[in-house]
Amino acid sequence: MKWQAVLGSTTGRIVAIGYMVTLAVTYSLVLSLNRIATTAGVPVIPYVFWQVVGAGLLLLAICALRRRWPPLTRDSLISYGMIGLFGFAIAFSVLAAAAPNAPASVISLTLTLTPVLVYVFAVVIGMDRFYWFRAFGIACSLAGVLLVLVPPLLQDASGLTADMVPWVILAFGAPLCYSFANLSAARFRPPNAGGVEMGAGALVAATIFLLPVMAVDGSWWFFNEPVADGSWTIFIALVVNALFMVLMYEVLRLAGPVIFSTYNYIATLCGMGWAAILFGDAPSALIWGSVALLFLGLYLVNRSPKEVPVKEGA
């Protein structure tokens, strides 16, 4: 299957686009919820842990009602492990740690690198082909990133200060992790497994990976009264994460990892919108310039090359 191809049917295209818009609007809200929770005093690791546990239990309950459980084949276990480790345990911890130390709009911007990285790794492992216009798109995306990160080191021109830059750089670990998770989910997904079952398996794996992290961190927080004002965000986040897992697997089934990763186009703008509504974050001219470069890069990276007819006997 050619992952970069346009979806085969009009119905499939409409469904996949609808799923991706839903993912973008809901997931970008979680970035702002991270900031609310962590600034209210909820410890980072328990915050991630309880929303993953809650989302996993929610999907397992749906599995029980449907009497369809997560498959335990070799490929499905690899998929659970990769998504649980990279897509949740590491990526969520990174984003939650960066949330109180940098503007939510800028952290949202980092997600736009996910499609670029997905394409790069897809080429490396043979799931896609190399094209020069996509390489130029990667260069545009990197230029957009540098436009945000470099000025704070020289002057306070982008809404960031120099002490925020390391946290923004840390946040870029999230799209790297998401690219690993997306490709693993597509490559190792059992053909007949549903999104609910696969999502439940991945969330159980994420819980297992986070348990030793919780033990080492020693922060066994559980909705303590002093941080009650921020703990409510966990309940919204766990529902969003459960929805995300189900729709992610469905879009991967319909379109593949490269097309799925482009939901970050919309997520970036939605993330900035949520940040403006909840915190009054007003993106600067440099931020918008960065968005323009990133969107140009993402368009080029995800542009489908024209099919070249193959002559018989060639």
User: Which residue did the predictor score with more confidence, 36 or 81?
Assistant: 81
Most confidently modeled of 73-77, 129-133, 138-142, 292-296? 73-77
Sign of CA dihedral 276, 104, 232, 51: positive
| Average pLDDT of the residues of the chain | 77
Most confidently modeled of 45-49, 230-234, 258-262, 308-312? 45-49
- The predicted structure's pLDDT at residue 2: 44
What pLDDT band is residue 293 in, cutting at 50, 70 and 90? confident
- The predicted structure's pLDDT at residue 158: 53
Has residue 309 got a pLDDT over 50? Answer: no
Q: How far apart are CA 260 and CA 243, in angstroms?
A: 15
Has residue 162 got a pLDDT over 70? Answer: yes
Has residue 255 got a pLDDT over 50? Answer: yes
- Percent of all residues in the chain with a pLDDT value above 70, rounded to a whole number: 78
Has residue 292 got a pLDDT over 90? Answer: no
What pLDDT band is residue 312 in, cutting at 50, 70 and 90? very low
User: Which residue did the predictor score with more confidence, 98 or 297?
Assistant: 98
Has residue 238 got a pLDDT over 60? Answer: yes
